[in-house]
């Protein structure tokens, strides 16, 4: 049998000779499947507001959401290969009906007041800068009893969950949940780091850890970190963590908030986790593999794995704040997380 006939024969039996594949199968470094990408708030916000003319939560859909769908990931509607980032908006008097799903979710509140989310019967207020979590398979709904639009950023591990064959969604038996525990219960029980009540064995919480991380606490942590522990690649940065375990805030989703002082420029690094940044305050630019991405408040920027990047605050007077979600917990748990600084910058130190 000739070599050509041999290759044809094995492929007809859905086999592949590894020695013919080259770098595609066992690459020296992670392959670049999709590119960095940016969405400008000036494009997103008016279209999110216009969505109110076309959709009401609970009528033709459960949520009024616009997904940041990366043009290189059209088959999954992913923002990265593992994460979905989206903007959700709810108007006064509206209710987003209760459901639960296997993908994990986070909420970072952008603007508005008077809205709340209920998770497993625990109702929690939502305010600008607050960070909320929705564990896997937890009942949750949203309602707005205040004034003006309420807007927040959603982050879910939908592409990862679908790829792993674990996608399930279930509607609640009624439109909205009844409050079954005191409002803000998790904040009262777990909200003071390192100090928790010593309760009897029959004491039960609706959710086993902290569900809401208030902006005031995040701001205080950022100010404290800046005094003692700057990160050369991210400036003053804090990570949202599970206060009971000390681990990531959710098993497959990491989240951070970082502060860049006026004219501050970080050093360059790269890592095997993907990350989506939301510009909470300020203006600046991010250098990704030598290409500059100018950003201002409300913009979203995606950095795929293993891309060199650094940030710069372009203002001479105002702080810049970057909220981010990432899939680092997955990579850490699988033993695949790797990070390195740019060699030329290390040599210069």
Per-residue model confidence as pLDDT tens digits over 295-339: 999 999 999 999 999 999 999 999 999 999 999 999 999 999 999
**Which pLDDT band holds residue 59 (cuts at 50, 70, 90)?**
confident
Placement of tokens 């593999």 in the chain? 289
Looking only at the bridges linking them, the beta strands covering 212-213 and 169-171 are: unpaired
Per-residue pLDDT at 205: 76
% of the chain surpassing 70 pLDDT = 97
Q: What is the pLDDT of residue 191?
A: 75
Predicted pLDDT at 189: 76
pLDDT of 47 > 90? The answer is: yes
Average of per-residue pLDDT values in the chain: 93
Listed in sequence order, the DSSP H helices in 191-322 are 215-228
| Domain regions of the chain by residue span | 33-348
Q: What spatial distance separates the first Cα and last Cα of the chain, rounded to whole Å?
A: 61
Spatial distance between the Cα atoms of 234 and 284, rounded to a whole number of angstroms: 13
Percent of the chain having pLDDT more than 90? 79
In the CATH scheme, what is the code of domain 33-348?
2.60.120.10
Residue for token pair 């916000």: 45
Catalogue the long-range contacts made by 277-280 (C-beta closer than 8 Å, 24 or more residues apart): 277/301, 277/302, 277/303, 277/322, 277/323, 277/324, 278/85, 278/108, 278/153, 278/322, 278/323, 278/324, 279/41, 279/320, 279/321, 279/322, 280/108, 280/129, 280/321, 280/322, 280/323
User: Pick from 257, 266, 277: which is nearest to 41 by CA?
Assistant: 277
Structural contact between residues 171 and 98, judged by C-beta atoms closer than 8 angstroms: yes
Q: Give the pLDDT of residue 349.
A: 59
């Amino acid at each position: 049998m000739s070599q050509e006939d041999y290759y044809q024969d094995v492929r007809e039996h859905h086999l592949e000779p590894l020695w013919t594949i080259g770098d595609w199968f066992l690459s020296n470094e992670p392959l670049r499947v999709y590119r960095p990408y940016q969405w400008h708030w000036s494009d997103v916000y008016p279209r999110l507001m216009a969505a109110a003319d076309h959709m009401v939560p609970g009528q033709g859909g459960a949520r009024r959401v616009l997904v940041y769908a990366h043009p290189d990931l059209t088959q999954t509607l992913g923002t990265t290969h593992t994460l979905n980032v989206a903007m959700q908006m709810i108007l006064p008097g509206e209710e987003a009906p209760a459901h639960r799903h296997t993908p994990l979710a986070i909420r970072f509140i952008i603007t508005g007041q008077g809205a709340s989310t209920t998770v497993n019967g625990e109702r929690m207020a939502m305010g600008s800068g607050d960070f909320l979590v929705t564990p896997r398979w937890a009942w949750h709904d949203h309602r707005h009893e205040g004034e003006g639009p309420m807007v927040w950023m959603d982050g879910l591990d939908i592409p990862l969950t679908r790829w792993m064959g674990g996608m399930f969604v279930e509607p609640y038996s009624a439109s909205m949940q009844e409050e079954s525990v005191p409002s803000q219960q998790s904040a009262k029980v777990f909200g003071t780091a390192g100090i928790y009540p010593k309760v009897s064995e029959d004491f039960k919480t609706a959710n086993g850890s902290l569900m809401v991380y208030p902006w005031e606490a995040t701001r205080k942590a950022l100010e404290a970190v800046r005094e003692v522990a700057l990160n050369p690649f991210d400036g003053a940065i804090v990570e949202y963590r599970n206060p009971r375990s000390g681990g990531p805030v959710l098993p497959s989703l990491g989240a951070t908030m970082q502060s860049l002082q006026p004219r501050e420029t970080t050093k360059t690094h790269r890592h095997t986790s993907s990350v989506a940044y939301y510009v909470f305050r300020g203006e600046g630019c991010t250098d990704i593999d030598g290409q500059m991405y100018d950003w201002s408040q409300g913009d979203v920027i995606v950095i795929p794995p293993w891309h060199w990047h650094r940030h710069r605050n372009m203002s001479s007077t105002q702080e810049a704040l970057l909220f981010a979600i990432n899939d680092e917990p997955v990579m850490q748990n699988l033993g695949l997380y790797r990070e390195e600084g740019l060699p030329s910058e290390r040599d210069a130190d």
